Structure formats: C-alpha cells, structure tokens
Amino acid sequence: MLLQERLTQKIPAWREKVQFLRKEKAEVVIDHVHVRQVFGGMRGLKVLVSDISFVDPYKGIHFRGYTIPEILELLPKPGAGKMPYVGGLYWLLMTGDLPTEEEALSVEEEWRKRMTLPEWVKQVITAMPKDTHPMTLFSMAILAMQKESAFTRQYHAGLTKTEFWGPTLEDALTLTARIPVVAAFIYRYLYGDGTYIPPDPNLDWGANFAHMMGIDDERYQDLSRLYFILHSDHELGNASAHTAHLVASTLSDLYYAFSAAMNALAGPLHGLANQEALKWLDAAYKRYGGVPTPEQMEEYAWDTLNAGRVIPGFGHAVLRATDPRFKAFYDFGEKHLPEDDYFKMVQVAYEVIPRVLQEHGKAKNPWPNVDAVSGSLQRHFGVEPTFYTVLFGIGRSLGITAHGVWARAMMLPIERPKSLTVQRIEEAIQEAEAAVA
C-alpha cells in the first residue's frame, strides 16, 4: 500500500525529532496559564501538538502548510474546473506531501476496497426510531464497527509501541472508506424513500457520496468534494478533534475515538451551528416573506442579539477574519447558484452582520465562519438541515484519523491535565500577587 510505504519512510525521522524535543528540551517554557484560561475553556492555551493543520487567526486554516486557495489549486482533480479528489487531500494530511495524481488515486483505490458496510451496522441503524437525530445514528453506527478494529485486535495479540501506528492507519483507512457509505445510508433511512443506493466503484469518494445520497448532479458531486475538504480539519484543539485525541490517548482505537468525537460535534456551539445557521436564515425568510433587504437583515440581527442569542455562523474561537472556508463556499455559490434565495440571504448577511456585531461589541470576531454559508448550498440540493452536522462529521473523519495515526507515530502518552479547586486558584493568585508586591 503506497500510503503505508510513504509513512514507513517518514515516521522514523519525525519520531526521532519528537523524542529529542521531549527529552532534551523538556523544561523549556512555551506558554503561561492565566486565570482567564482556567475558567475560560482553556482558550488559546498551547498544550497540544499536531502537524496535520494549523489555524492562523487572520489567514485561517493551513493543511500541512497549504492555505485553502492553494489546496484547491494544487491537489489533483478529476477534470479541469472540478474540485480536487478527497483522496489527494487525505494523502497530504497523512504524509505532509502534495500528492501526484497516482498517489491521490491510490487512496481512492484503498477506500474503494474497504467501503462495504457490514450488515449488522445497517441493522443497528434501522432498529432505531426515525425521529432519532442523524448524529446519534452516525455515532452509533461508527461504534457498531468497532469490533473490526485492526489496532485493538493486534494490540491484544502483542504489539510494541513503535508499531502502534501501522494498524491505526489500517483502521483510519477502513473507517474513512465507510464513513460516506454509512452517512448516506442514514440519510436514506431517515429521509429517503426506503431504498438504499450502493456505492459506485467507478466514482471517487466525494462523488460517490453524492451518488449514494441519490443526488446525481455533477454540481453536487463537486460540492461534496469541496465540502469534505473544507471540513476535514481545523487543528487539534477544537472540541471534536480534541475529544478523539483524548479518547485515543488511552489506546482506545479510532472507532471509539471517532464516535466520541461525533458526540462533541453534535453540540450547537460546534457542528450543529450549520443547522442553526440555516434555521436562522429560514426564520428571516418567513418573517420578511422573501430575501430580507439589508435594513431588514439588520433589524433581524439586532432582535436576535437583544433576545440574548448568538448569531449562528458568525464569530470564532481562533479566527479573527473572514473564514477562508466561508470564502471558498461563497465562490461556489456565486458560480453555481447565484439565483438561489438562500444564497442571496447569505450575501445580505455578509454585508450587514459584521458591522452589527462590531457595534454590539461583544464578539471578538464579527466575521462569518464556514457555517454561515454551507447550509444554504446544501439546501439548494434538497438536503435536510438536520443532516448538515453529519456532513461536517464526514469531512472531519479525514483530519481526526490523520491526527490519530500521527499521535501513535509520535508515541504520545495518555492525556492527564491537572484540575484545581477554586480555593487553590485563590491561593495561587495570592501567591502571585504577593510575589510582585
């Protein structure tokens, strides 16, 4: 397998570098912990390491050093003017190198070989009531596949620490191969006509998802590739990636870890925000009987803020500028569906909301994030809003499994930060203040 060969070449040198840093530079201070961070969700605390991606507050996400526009330009594509193969992005995330077309297609081929869904997984899904949220079914279905983990099997048969990454890569490939299949199966169970569409071996990962959803439109194939690439990763500290990292640090396998990550993604402040953002636009559309004017959008935004609610799709914990993922989707909307009313609402919101949030004066970042636009594009193709978080999760499987393989390659230990009592924090504050007095 090409990917395994490339990682076998790369891992020893990287592992040596990490071991050197851990041993020889162990006492170097790179960050201080402030009281605001202890009480404030550890915001900005530099305590994790991963080379898969990095978020610059102003330029946004970099996948292995490449920005979104670079990724969309440089990765191999199925044809001129098309979005890149997701397999190429996965090669980049895993190896750090831009793939050749052959390398991108080798990942697509690995996925093709592994995409058959076990029957019992389908039974787990269809045993559940249809008013179950699709994220619940998604997380359960992933967990239902855990018994197939190569890592867990080989670990119990006897593996040394240096070998852990190999079967973790196996799990990563099988899991990511099946993720779009499982997701489309859930979609058709909950919202379809009860028929299931098997994967087409002639299609790539992104296009196949569109096919299995029953949306045979080349624009939706392209949107799927774009969607999964843009959602693939956002550093290791975000709630879902960090959840997976914590769980896998116990040497739980990637099935356990990714299922747990999806439970974190299901929260309204994280992956559910795309569904919330569309709901918010929907209510505006109903209230004004069509696309609101900029003045109406402003009034609507203030009503939301004055009611003590957040405007979904705006703001970010790390970003301090318009999210480049927003921009990439926005460009797609302008090219493929400029006449769509919901896309037009996104345009009006982009024009008005940042100024409103600035005047409101609370959000550190008044600019749109990826969720402000992604739902409007999915809605155009008839995809149910309650499914949007699953779409996010499909993409996130790429980054999370790549982090997982590399955490094993770097032989990172189990996570165990320290918690303090409020009294201990008060004492620490007194000690610090006495020291400077």
Ligand X SMILES: CC(C)(COP(=O)(O)OP(=O)(O)OC[C@H]1O[C@@H](n2cnc3c(N)ncnc32)[C@H](O)[C@@H]1OP(=O)(O)O)[C@@H](O)C(=O)NCCC(=O)NCCS
With CB under 6 A as the contact rule, the residue among 314, 343, 350, 367 that binds ligand X is 314
CB of 61 vs ligand X, minimal distance in Å: 11
Nearest-angstrom CA–CA distance, 148 and 140: 14
Residues 266-285 that bind ligand X (CB under 6 A): 269, 273
Nearest-angstrom CA–CA distance, 100 and 92: 10
Q: Give which of 129, 253, 117 is closest to 183, Cα–Cα.
A: 117
Nearer to ligand X, 126 or 263 (CB): 263
CB of 93 vs ligand X, minimal distance in Å: 19
CB of 172 vs ligand X, minimal distance in Å: 24
With CB under 6 A as the contact rule, the residue among 186, 311, 346, 377 that binds ligand X is 311
Q: Could you say which of 62, 211, 231, 316 is catalytic?
A: 316
Nearer to ligand X, 36 or 147 (CB): 36
User: Is 349 an interacting residue with respect to ligand X (CB under 6 A)?
Assistant: no
Nearer to ligand X, 146 or 369 (CB): 369
Q: Could you say which of 270, 323, 380, 403 is catalytic?
A: 270
What x-and-dash track marks residues 281-310 binding ligand X by CB under 6 A?
A: ------------------------x----x
Nearer to ligand X, 313 or 375 (CB): 313
With CB under 6 A as the contact rule, the residue among 96, 99, 134, 313 that binds ligand X is 313
Catalytic residue list contains 380:
no
Catalytic residue list contains 62:
no
- For the chain, the straight-line distance linking the first and the last C-alpha, in angstroms and rounded, comes to 63
| CA angle in degrees (0–180, nearest 5) for 40-41-42 | 95
328 half-sphere exposure, CB direction, 13 A CA radius = 26
Q: Could you say which of 204, 253, 323, 371 is catalytic?
A: 371
What does the block give as tokens for 259?
A: 């299922």
Nearer to ligand X, 6 or 242 (CB): 242
Long-range (24+ apart) CB contacts under 8 A made by 284-292 are 284/345, 285/341, 285/342, 285/345, 290/341, 291/341, 291/344, 291/345, 291/348, 292/345, 292/348
CB of 308 vs ligand X, minimal distance in Å: 8
Residues 352-411 that bind ligand X (CB under 6 A): 362-365, 369, 371
With CB under 6 A as the contact rule, the residue among 317, 321, 412, 428 that binds ligand X is 317
Nearest-angstrom CA–CA distance, 435 and 273: 44
CB atoms within 10 A of CB 283: 12
Nearer to ligand X, 362 or 424 (CB): 362
Nearer to ligand X, 173 or 357 (CB): 357
Sheet of 53-56, strands arranged across: 53-56, 60-63, 66-67
Catalytic residue list contains 316:
yes
Nearest-angstrom CA–CA distance, 91 and 89: 5
Number of amino acids touching ligand X (CB under 6 A): 17
Residue listed under structure tokens 């990563």: 172
Nearest-angstrom CA–CA distance, 148 and 175: 10
CB of 125 vs ligand X, minimal distance in Å: 27
The per-residue DSSP string of 137-165 comes to HHHHHHHHTGGG-HHHHHHHHH--GGGTH
- Residue of this chain nearest to ligand X (CB atom): 315
CB of 326 vs ligand X, minimal distance in Å: 10
Helix (H) or strand (E) holding 194: none
- Please state, in angstroms and as integers, the Cα–Cα distance from residue 265 to each residue in 99, 394, 397, 407, following that order: 29, 11, 11, 21
CB of 89 vs ligand X, minimal distance in Å: 19
Which residues lie near ligand X (CB under 6 A)? Answer: 269, 273, 305, 310-317, 362-365, 369, 371
Give the residue numbers marked as catalytic. Answer: 270, 316, 371
